[in-house]
Amino acid sequence: MSQGPWAYPEELRAALGGLGLSPTADTPPALVREAVGDLYRVELRRVRDRLLAQAIPKTEYLGHVIALRKKYWMLTLPPPAWERICRSQDTETT
């Protein structure tokens, strides 16, 4: 795992804040991505459970899943991309 300091871009920081996450310059991107993935799976299971309990109609299920995918858009970035975009400008790349 690479060392910081890490500089999370504002767009990513805002999206993470909406999920209740607030990484610092010492928080590795891999750890943050793992936490985001965990939150996504919890929410996805919750929607599935609501479907199975017939709390949401089957016709609306896909819309809920798509909304979650949009909310967790940052998971479309592979782990190496997280490190690249969060690398501090002060960090020397060799």
Tens digits of per-residue pLDDT, 46-83?
999 999 999 999 999 999 999 999 999 999 999 999 99
Domain that holds residue 34: 10-81
Tokens of 18: 């909406």
34, part of any domain:
yes
CA distance 39 to 84: 23
In a domain, 94, yes or no: no
Report pTM.
0.87
**How many separate domains does the chain show?**
1
Average pLDDT taken over every residue of the chain: 92
In angstroms, the CA 85 to CA 79 distance is 10
Q: Is residue 86 part of a domain?
A: no
Portion of the chain with pLDDT greater than 90, in percent:
87
Q: Is residue 88 part of a domain?
A: no
